[in-house]
Amino acid sequence: MEFDWTKYFNTTILEKGIKIVLILLIGSLIIYTVALLVKKLLPAKLSQQRKMIVNRLIIYTGFVSLVLIIISELKINVAPIFGAAGVIGIVVGIASQTSIGNIVSGFFLVSEKSFEIGDLVRLGDKLGTVYSIDLLSIKIKTLDNLLIRVPNQTVISTELINVTRFPIRRMDIDVSVAYKEDLEKVKSVLEKIAKNNPLCLDEPEPIIIFKTFGASGIDIMFGVWFEKDKFREVKNSIFPEIMRKFNE
Coil/strand/helix, residue 93? helix
CA nearest neighbour of 140 among 159, 115, 165, 157: 115
pLDDT band of residue 159 (cuts 50, 70, 90) is: confident
Question: Could you tell me which residue, 83 or 197, shows the higher pLDDT?
Answer: 197
Question: CB 155: neighbour CB atoms within 10 A?
Answer: 23
Longest dimension (CA), the chain: 115
How much is the pLDDT for 15? 72
What is the rounded average pLDDT of the residues 170-183?
89
Classified as helix, coil or strand, 117 is coil
| Overall pTM > 0.75 | no
Using CB atoms within 10 A of its CB, is residue 186 exposed (0-12), middle (13-18) or buried (19+)?
buried
CB contact at 8 A, 132 and 117: yes
Could you tell me the pLDDT band of residue 154, with boundaries at 50, 70 and 90? confident
Question: Whole-number mean pLDDT of the chain?
Answer: 80
Residue 117, φ and ψ in degrees, nearest 5: -60, 130
Q: Exposed, middle or buried by CB within 10 Å (0-12, 13-18, 19+), for 152?
A: buried
Give the confidence band of 79 by pLDDT, cuts at 50, 70, 90. low
Residue scoring higher pLDDT (104 or 156): 156
Task: Decide if 222 contacts 190 (C-beta within 8 A).
Answer: yes
pLDDT at 81: 55
Q: For residue 221, is pLDDT > 90?
A: yes
**Predicted local confidence at residue 80, as pLDDT:** 60
Percentage, residues of the chain above pLDDT 90 = 8
pLDDT (average), residues 69-87: 63
Confidence (pLDDT) at 124 = 84
pLDDT grade for 143, boundaries at 50, 70 and 90:
confident
Q: Which residues of 120-142 are buried (b: 16+ CB within 10 A; e: fewer)?
A: bbebeeebbbbbebeebbbbbbe
